[in-house]
Amino acid sequence: MSSNVYGIDLGTFNLKIYCKSTGKVINEKNTIAIVGKNQLYAFGDDAYAMYEKAPDAIQVSFPVVNGVIADYNNMQNMILKVFEKHVKGHMKGSEFIVAVPTDITEVEKKAFFDLFYKSKFKPKSVLLCEKPIADAAGLDLDVNSPTGFMIVNIGADTTEISVISLGGLVLSDLLHFGGKRIDEMIINHLKRKFSLVIGQKTAMYLKEELGCALPEDEVQSAVIVGRDVVSGLPIEMEVTSDVIYEAIKDSLSTICNSIKMILEKTPPELARDIIHSGIYITGGSSRIRKMDQLFSDITNIQVNTCELPEESAVRGLNKIVSDDKFSRLAFSMKDRIYS
Domains of the chain: 5-134+312-338 (3.30.420.40), 143-177+248-307 (3.30.420.40), 179-247 (3.90.640.10)
Residue 1: strand, helix, or coil: coil
Residue 45: strand, helix, or coil: helix
Say what the pLDDT of residue 336 is: 54
Q: How far is CA 100 from the centre of its chain?
A: 11
Say what the pLDDT of residue 87 is: 85
**pTM, 2 dp:** 0.91
Structural contact between residues 153 and 132, judged by C-beta atoms closer than 8 angstroms = yes
Say what the pLDDT of residue 2 is: 47
Q: How far is CA 182 from the centre of its chain?
A: 14
Structural contact between residues 306 and 287, judged by C-beta atoms closer than 8 angstroms = no
pLDDT less than 50: residues of the chain: 1-2, 337-339
Which is nearest to 161 in space by CA: 5, 303, 319?
303
Say what the pLDDT of residue 266 is: 96
Q: Which long-range contacts (CB under 8 A, 24 or more apart) does 268-277 make?
A: 269/148, 270/148, 270/163, 270/165, 270/170, 271/148, 272/148, 273/147, 273/148, 273/149, 273/165, 274/148, 274/149, 274/150, 274/163, 274/301, 275/301, 277/141, 277/147, 277/148, 277/149, 277/304
Say what the pLDDT of residue 145 is: 93
Amino acid type, 66? N
Which is nearest to 4 in space by CA: 83, 94, 124, 90?
94
Say what the pLDDT of residue 173 is: 92
Say what the pLDDT of residue 335 is: 55
Q: What are phi and psi of 285, to 5 degrees?
A: -75, -5
Say what the pLDDT of residue 52 is: 93
